[in-house]
Amino acid sequence: MATTAPPLPGLRRTLRRHFGFPSLREGQEEVIRGVMAGQDTLAIMPTGAGKSLCYQLPGMELPGTTVVVSPLISLMKDQVDKLHELGIEAAQVNSTLSASEESETLEAIQKEQRDFVFTTPERLAQPEFLATLKTNRIDLFVIDEAHCISQWGHDFRPAFLGLRAAIEALGNPTVLALTATATEPVIEDILERLGRPEMEVVDTGLYRENLELEVFPLPDEERKRQQLSRLLRETPGVGIVYVSTVQHCEEVAGYLASLAIPVARYHGRVGSRERRHSQDRFMAGELKAMVATNAFGMGIDKPDLRFVIHYNLPGSLESYYQEAGRAGRDGERARCALLYQPEDRNTQLFFINGSYPRPEQFAEVYRALERAGGAREEIPFADLRKQLGRLPRTKLQVVLATLKEMELADEPSSGAYRLRREGLDAAALDELARRYQERGEADRERLKRMVLYAQTALCRWKLLLSYFGAEVDWERCGHCDNCARPAPAATAPPPAEKPPVFAELLPLPPLFGEKRAEELAPGDVVTLPIYGRGEVRERLADRLIVAFGDGEMRAFRRG
């Protein structure tokens, strides 16, 4: 591990000579200096801020090998190709390699002929691969999309839980973790799971004033389609339309094609040849938009995207910011629009409810390991899947990762498991499941915050930044629809014509925007998740009377 950073002028020469950049961007220099000095670092930098350079530049200067872990194979290939273009030896080790390609690559790594090795967390769980890497001097261990480590992150991947053990097996090199978004609980969880509480956190900020945020509330699918076609026709340039399901992808792409708008579809069920062809057309500017699930976008190096439109409500502000942030990476103005239909929330709830193993599924996996020999015999993953029948692969992986994390099971050989502790009763197994039920609750809370963003009458940038713990000293950004053209206050018939519905004593949330419930006064405008914008008409001892644009006046409990 390096102990002192080389003079920055040397790095700047490499920056100019190999990468063609005259200088580093904000935040890059701080991260790179820390890495070169052997400081473990978590860098939180928005999409397009140059995260890759934070490991590529040090990796070229350090004498040993840099290992880069990524959840996305397409992103690996993109990075390896770029390094090859710069004359830098790099390799990827993942499931896309043929047997002969993998053998050739592993031999090159063993001979220390590769400066960068890109791989997946799943591959790092294999003792044979770790043994190959250990023949090299590993100077830097990079974790891309580091939020995948955290159980409180929006894209948790069980395989990332094994990275701490892999780092230790490789001699504890300097660690650089990279992500575009991380709330405070996610940051704390990343540091804890990596076993690096002293990790330096560099947060360059999320605000990008070239991104224009806007939300279009729409009552039904037909209005959404009409609004989408209008946006595509009036917005110049190329962009992405994100949808939440394969079915929506097919339907929306078909609808736009029927209007002679040049689009292509991209989702997990589209054949690889069609995906490659569509991506090539997109990169060449032949399409107006790619209609895609969130499988598209990572590793796509197209800085001149002029818009990102979310046809469906994302599951969290983390997901929304990462996807919307792919627009305008060239610094020029770009449009980030959300077509909000309240029913879309149900799709995300369906995803959340189906994501986590139930208590009986934890017990089912544990008992299967007991039957297979407990602590004495190991069972291959494939055999375990056959025994457990209908249990989905991802849920089985989550349960096994949890058992390993709690040292109740281990993986003595690649892809085979055994128990380390036998005889757990039902109560102990229920405790295992509880932690994932807590994750489900956290996901539901994130969805609520996403809905609030869609419904708020306040500055959208300020709400977004506040969610990630960033405070700003302005009330209006001037770069979102609410600030550029604030909606008029809601009006309603006088109380005599429409008496308050006092039977509906609903709880008023403690905080709306900058004001707490007890600070609200007649004339203040509030936005409620169910009813939308309203105006406080009367403040009583135990309730607030709010008038809404639908002609109703409702009473809400205070406190």
What count of Cα atoms within 13 Å lies in the side-chain half-sphere of residue 462?
17
Q: What's the residue count for the chain?
A: 559
Asked if 196 and 76 sit in the same domain, the reply is: yes
* C-alpha dihedral (505, 506, 510, 515), degrees to nearest 10: -80
Give the residue, 1 or 300, on which the prediction is more confident. Answer: 300
- In this structure, is residue 445 part of a structural domain? no
Asked if 279 and 370 sit in the same domain, the reply is: no
Q: How many CB atoms are closer than 10 A to CB 552?
A: 17
Q: How confident is the model at residue 481 (pLDDT cuts 50, 70, 90)?
A: very high
Q: How many CB atoms are closer than 10 A to CB 169?
A: 15
- In this structure, is residue 49 part of a structural domain? yes
Q: How confident is the model at residue 347 (pLDDT cuts 50, 70, 90)?
A: confident
Q: What is the pLDDT of residue 111?
A: 87
Asked if 192 and 253 sit in the same domain, the reply is: no
Which position has the token pair 């300097």? 174
- The yes-or-no verdict on residue 286 having pLDDT over 70 is yes
Tell me whether strands 379-380 and 307-310 are parallel, antiparallel or unpaired: unpaired
Asked if 57 and 102 sit in the same domain, the reply is: yes
- The yes-or-no verdict on residue 335 having pLDDT over 90 is yes
- In this structure, is residue 130 part of a structural domain? yes
Q: What is the pLDDT of residue 35?
A: 93
Q: Residue 377's domain is classified under what CATH number? A: 1.10.10.10
- The yes-or-no verdict on residue 173 having pLDDT over 50 is yes
Helix and strand counts by DSSP (H, E) for the chain? 20, 23
Q: What is the pLDDT of residue 298?
A: 64
* Total domains present in the chain: 4
- In this structure, is residue 302 part of a structural domain? yes
**Residues 390, 393, 397, CA angle at the centre, nearest 5°?**
125
Q: In the predicted model, what is the mean pLDDT of residues 6-17?
A: 68
Give the residue, 164 or 497, on which the prediction is more confident. Answer: 164
- The yes-or-no verdict on residue 460 having pLDDT over 60 is yes
- The yes-or-no verdict on residue 511 having pLDDT over 50 is no
Asked if 318 and 411 sit in the same domain, the reply is: no
Q: What is the pLDDT of residue 2?
A: 39
Contacts of 99 (CB under 8 A, 6+ apart): none
Q: In the predicted model, what is the mean pLDDT of residues 424-437?
A: 76
**Residues 369, 373, 375, CA angle at the centre, nearest 5°?**
80
**Residue 250 exposed, middle or buried by CB count within 10 Å (0-12, 13-18, 19+):** middle
Asked if 18 and 128 sit in the same domain, the reply is: yes
Give the residue, 503 or 99, on which the prediction is more confident. Answer: 99
The answer to whether 134 touches 67, Cβ cutoff 8 Å, is no
Q: In the predicted model, what is the mean pLDDT of residues 442-449?
A: 87
Asked if 385 and 513 sit in the same domain, the reply is: no
Q: What is the pLDDT of residue 391?
A: 87
- The yes-or-no verdict on residue 153 having pLDDT over 70 is no
Q: How far apart are CA 419 and CA 460, in angstroms?
A: 49
| Domain span at 140 | 8-203
Q: What is the enclosing helix (H) or strand (E) of 276?
A: helix 272-283
Q: In the predicted model, what is the mean pLDDT of residues 440-449?
A: 86
Tell me whether strands 90-93 and 409-413 are parallel, antiparallel or unpaired: unpaired
Q: Structure tokens of 558?
A: 């205070």
Q: What is the pLDDT of residue 338?
A: 97
- In this structure, is residue 342 part of a structural domain? yes
Q: How confident is the model at residue 508 (pLDDT cuts 50, 70, 90)?
A: low
Q: How far apart are CA 513 and CA 70, in angstroms?
A: 37
The per-residue pLDDT for range 225-246, each reduced to its tens digit, is 999 999 999 999 999 999 999 9
The answer to whether 250 touches 292, Cβ cutoff 8 Å, is no
Q: Structure tokens of 272?
A: 């690889």
The per-residue pLDDT for range 546-555, each reduced to its tens digit, is 776 555 666 7
- In this structure, is residue 495 part of a structural domain? yes
Q: In the predicted model, what is the mean pLDDT of residues 386-410?
A: 81
Angular region, 172: left φ>0, alpha ψ -120 to 50, beta rest: left
Task: Identify the bridge partners of residue 116 per DSSP, sorted by sequence position.
Answer: 66, 90
Asked if 161 and 245 sit in the same domain, the reply is: no
The answer to whether 153 touches 318, Cβ cutoff 8 Å, is yes
Q: How far apart are CA 324 and CA 458, in angstroms?
A: 19
What count of Cα atoms within 13 Å lies in the side-chain half-sphere of residue 33?
11
Q: In the predicted model, what is the mean pLDDT of residues 22-33?
A: 83
Q: What is the pLDDT of residue 5?
A: 45
The answer to whether 216 touches 228, Cβ cutoff 8 Å, is no
The per-residue pLDDT for range 67-85, each reduced to its tens digit, is 999 887 767 877 888 888 8
Q: What is the pLDDT of residue 320?
A: 94
Q: What is the pLDDT of residue 24?
A: 80
- The yes-or-no verdict on residue 295 having pLDDT over 50 is yes
Of 423, 440, 457, which marks where a domain is finished? 440
User: Residue-wise over 433-472: b if at least 16 C-beta within 10 A, else e?
Assistant: beebeebeebbeebbebbbbbbbbbbbbbbbbbebbeeee
Q: What is the pLDDT of residue 3?
A: 39
Q: What is the pLDDT of residue 327?
A: 94
Q: How far apart are CA 411 and CA 369, in angstroms?
A: 12
Which position has the token pair 């929330």? 345
- In this structure, is residue 396 part of a structural domain? yes
Give the residue, 500 or 449, on which the prediction is more confident. Answer: 449
- Full-prediction pTM beyond 0.75? no
DSSP state letters, 480-533: BHHHHSPPPPP----TTTS--EEEEEEEPPSEETTEEGGG--TT-EEEETTTEE
Of residues 144, 149, 172, the one with CA closest to residue 74: 144
Asked if 96 and 116 sit in the same domain, the reply is: yes
- The yes-or-no verdict on residue 268 having pLDDT over 60 is yes
Q: What single DSSP character describes residue 153? A: S
| Alpha-carbon distances of 415 from 122, 125, 378, 381, 411, rounded to whole Å | 10, 9, 10, 5, 7
Asked if 49 and 158 sit in the same domain, the reply is: yes
Asked if 135 and 215 sit in the same domain, the reply is: no
Q: 244-248, 269-273, 466-470, 502-506: lowest mean pLDDT where?
A: 502-506
Of 182, 203, 224, which marks where a domain is finished? 203
Give the residue, 206 or 19, on which the prediction is more confident. Answer: 206
Q: Residue 20's domain is classified under what CATH number? A: 3.40.50.300
Q: What is the pLDDT of residue 530?
A: 56
Asked if 192 and 339 sit in the same domain, the reply is: no
Report, in this order, helix, strand and coil percent for the chain, each rounded to 5.
40, 20, 40
| Percent of the chain clearing pLDDT 70 (strictly above) | 85
Of 380, 411, 440, which marks where a domain is finished? 440
Q: What is the pLDDT of residue 484?
A: 86
Q: In the predicted model, what is the mean pLDDT of residues 10-27?
A: 75
The per-residue pLDDT for range 79-127, each reduced to its tens digit, is 888 888 888 899 999 887 888 888 999 999 988 889 999 999 989 988 8
| Alpha-carbon distances of 40 from 4, 45, 167, 213, rounded to whole Å | 13, 16, 12, 34
- The yes-or-no verdict on residue 493 having pLDDT over 50 is no
Task: Identify the bridge partners of residue 334 per DSSP, sorted by sequence position.
Answer: 211
Q: In the predicted model, what is the mean pLDDT of residues 410-418?
A: 80
Q: How far apart are CA 419 and CA 123, in angstroms?
A: 22
Q: How confident is the model at residue 54 (pLDDT cuts 50, 70, 90)?
A: very high
| Percent of the chain clearing pLDDT 90 (strictly above) | 37
- In this structure, is residue 330 part of a structural domain? yes
Q: What is the pLDDT of residue 541?
A: 65
